[in-house]
Amino acid sequence: ANNSEGNLRSPICCIMGHVDTGKTKLLDCIRHTNVQEGEAGGITQQIGATYFPAENIRERTRELKADAKLNVPGLLVIDTPGHESFTNLRSRGSGLCDIAILVVDIMHGLEPQTIESLNLLRMRNTEFIVALNKVDRLYGWKTLRNAPIVKALKQQSKDVQNEFNMRVTSVITQFKEQGLNTELYYKNKDMGETFNIVPTSAISGEGVPDLLLLLVQWSQKTMIEKLTFKNELECTVLEVKVVEGHGTTIDVVLVNGVLHEGDQIVVCGMQGPIVTTIRALLTPHPMKELRVKGTYLHHKQIKAAQGIKISAQGLEHAIAGTGLYVVGPDDDLEEIKRSAMED
């Protein structure tokens, strides 16, 4: 690996789309967790974050391509709600990410929040991959657990293949009506101009290896500059919440830079800037969801990119969606307080 490859941070990937298309379930499938079943009404109402180390991605993509080059340390995936009332959270998630997965239900095609998400991504010129999810619902689908999608499709009857082709064609047409060229990724000869579609099942895992590998490879290929680790801190508050034993905490996404226990930080508050000191830097275990109560790992310092829970005094009135600043030895505190309140 050359120098730049040696200092890449994990790409941040936001998962977006219409309600109930299977965003959380897809992450559950990769994590081997059951977060979705624990959600009230089966609806996501918060932004989440999960870190997938490269070795887990390697494991999951071995059958598809055993010698794939994974130059990034891992992948940080941000889960967002699809319900129409959470446009602000979709906007927050899409504003943070390097790349996105736009999930479409193969049985429903494009829906209102698919189009809303699409427009958020286009507004910021964000790269994305379409996951055409729930292929297992095609009538007569034969399960081939966690198989690469081309292999899974070859096992299907002519009828299933025909229905699959018909539905894919219809989705491609619907994207075309939105002014967007899309194609099944394994047929796409014009990557870059034509967005990739990866058929998946979050229940039986077909296509999930393809989605993971394409995410990592496409990020590595098209955004080396953006993914090169930078020391300058870039950090956003996702959620503010009370956690038993820790008081009010903030969940943040560290996009660049390093945070240390004991750092003096400034965040935007409802009654003015909050200046405080990091008491604890916590993360869930790898492959666990930050927004779900569980055991946390304590860190002395954490390097981007990562989803982190910060415990500190005085965070009760912190405002989600704003930036977090660290006060360095040579920094002017008043200036940082002003910057924090401009967010």
Among 20, 79, 136, 289, binds Na ion (CB under 5 A): 20
Give CA separation, 84 vs 45, 90, 281, in Å.
11, 10, 33
137 counts as binding ligand GTP under rule CB under 6 A: yes
DSSP 8-state class, residue 191: B
Cβ of 319: how many Cβ atoms within 10 Å? 16
Q: Which residues contact 333 (CB under 8 A, 6 or more apart)?
A: 266, 275, 327
How many residues does this entry show for the chain?
343
Q: Is 209 in the site for ligand GTP (CB under 6 A)?
A: no
- CB contact at 8 A, 301 and 261: yes
22 belongs to the binding site for ligand GTP (CB under 6 A): yes
CB 182 within 8 A of CB 174: no
- Region from 37-45, 48-56, 59-67, 132-140 binding Mg ion, contact rule CB under 5 A: 37-45
Q: How far is the CB of 91 from ligand GTP (least distance, A)?
A: 15
Apex 131 CA angle, 7 and 172, nearest 5: 125
- 42 near Na ion (CB under 5 A): yes
Which helix or strand (DSSP H or E) is residue 77 part of? strand 74-79
Among the residue ranges 40-48, 91-99, 195-203, 292-300, the one whose residues contact Mg ion (CB under 5 A): 40-48
Q: Which of these ranges, 17-25, 56-64, 145-153, 202-210, lies near Na ion under the rule CB under 5 A?
A: 17-25
Structure tokens, 259: 């945070």
Binding of ligand GTP by 292 (CB under 6 A): no
Q: Is 40 or 66 the residue whose CB approaches Mg ion more closely?
A: 40
Of 16, 19, 184, 227, which one interacts with ligand GTP (CB under 6 A)?
Answer: 19
Q: CA 230, CA 22: separation in Å to the nearest integer?
A: 34
The verdict on 117 binding Mg ion (CB under 5 A) reads no
Interface with Mg ion in residues 42-61 (CB under 5 A): 44
Which of 9, 11, 16, 24 touches ligand GTP by CB under 6 A? Answer: 24
Closest CA to 278 of 259, 263, 296: 263
Quick one: which segment of 42-50, 90-98, 272-280, 290-298 binds Na ion (CB under 5 A)? 42-50
Cβ 212 to Mg ion shortest distance, Å? 18
Q: Which is nearer to ligand GTP, 207 or 269 (CB)?
A: 207
By CB under 6 A, residue 21 contacts ligand GTP: yes
Question: Which of residues 20 and 105 has its CB atom nearest to Na ion in the complex?
Answer: 20
Contact between 337 and 322 (Cβ < 8 Å) = no
**Residue 136 binds Na ion (CB under 5 A):** no
Which residues lie closer than 8 Å to 122 by C-beta, 6 or more apart?
none
Nearest to 182 by CA among 166, 198, 201, 160: 198
Task: Return the residue of 33, 44, 56, 256 that touches ligand GTP, per CB under 6 A.
Answer: 44
Of residues 76-105, which lie at the interface with ligand GTP (CB under 6 A)? 81-83
Q: Calculate ∠ Cα 247-250-255, nearest 5°.
A: 155
Q: What residues contact residue 304 under an 8 Å CB cut-off, 6+ apart?
A: 9, 10, 229, 234, 254, 255, 256, 257, 258
User: Residue 236 binds which one of Mg ion, ligand GTP, Na ion, none, with CB within 5 to 8 A depending on kind?
Assistant: none
Q: Which is nearer to ligand GTP, 77 or 203 (CB)?
A: 203
Chain positions contacting ligand GTP, by CB under 6 A = 17, 19-25, 36, 42-44, 81-83, 133-134, 136-137, 201-203
Chain positions contacting Na ion, by CB under 5 A = 20, 42-43
